[in-house]
Amino acid sequence: MSPVDYSEITLPADCAGLRLDAALARLFPEHSRSRLQGWLKSGAILLDGLPADAKRKVHGGERIFCAVLPAPTSATVAEDIPLPIVYEDDSLIVIDKPAGLVVHPGNGNERGTLMNALLHHAPQLAEVPRAGIVHRLDKDTSGLMVVAKTLAAQTQLVRALAARQVQRHYLALVHGQVATGGSIDAPIGRHPVQRIKMAVVKQGGKAARTHYAVRERFARATLLECRLETGRTHQIRVHMASFGHPLVGDPVYGKKKSGNALLDAFGRQALHAYRLTLAHPASGTEMTWESPLPVDFAALLEALRAG
């Protein structure tokens, strides 16, 4: 594949001490680390005009010469899967993801994912990394997600997420009585023993902060509104479990038996991304969307109120 455009960028001073590939990932958040490493190996990216190893430490001030290549067409198969679209224009799509829908294809989930559906709905997304997906929700978490329709929009949204300028609010039903609102500021990383899980860890974890407020109390559970300041894997689920109030229905971090049949029978983590606020990547206009609780979550709350 031949280069189609060339650009020269000076590494900012705050990249000092980083590996070259890490510095590039900061400069080009719309591209994966592995793609950037591949471009370094191929000579599509040069450091001060010369080939350089991805592991090389940088000092800031170096000149990056980048032959910007078109994003490769996704190998993911487009599938005609209904998409609950809340909003769409030339720059973005806002989707109200149902519980049970996997976001990215992976082992055991090559078909039937949100990415498969997006590629059918908007075939041009095959030219955008990750089909425009800039953040994710767990399979059994419902609610609002934003997808970029262009590389420029994706770059802007990824940077806004990194700068904590995108507001994501969730409704979470947790076990037990939560006395008052607050914040949990605890780093999250891979569980030291159970590698398929995440955990609050003292060393090697990434900074994670969740703010929460009490919306409604029940005899054995509390409905919380949670706001993410960071976006770590399983963040709300891990933080609430570490706080002693795991999410109702959470098969990984929750309780198997709580003493309440309604809570124990709920078949997924009771977590819904109900509000999303961001600056439009093209116009800069602040936009907000809200999603009503899905039927199963709303029915559980009604049953708890009646009980």
Positions marked active-site: 138
Task: Return d(Cα 110, Cα 16) in angstroms, integer.
Answer: 40
In the chain, the amino acid numbered 216 is E
Task: Return d(Cα 30, Cα 191) in angstroms, integer.
Answer: 28
Task: Return d(Cα 139, Cα 115) in angstroms, integer.
Answer: 13
* Cross-strand partners of 10: 63
Task: Return d(Cα 215, Cα 226) in angstroms, integer.
Answer: 10
Torsion sign (Cα): 131, 136, 138, 144:
negative
Residue 27, CA distances (Å) to 31, 72, 94, 285 in order: 9, 20, 26, 24
Q: Where are the alpha helices (DSSP H) in the chain?
A: 20-27, 33-42, 114-121, 151-162, 235-242, 261-265, 295-306
Neighbours of 88 (CB within 10 A): 15
In the chain, the amino acid numbered 197 is K
DSSP letter at 58 equals -
149 class by beta-carbon count within 10 Å (0-12 exposed, 13-18 middle, 19+ buried): buried
CB environment 32-62: b (16+ within 10 A), e (fewer): eeebbbebbeeebbbbeeeebebeeebeeeb
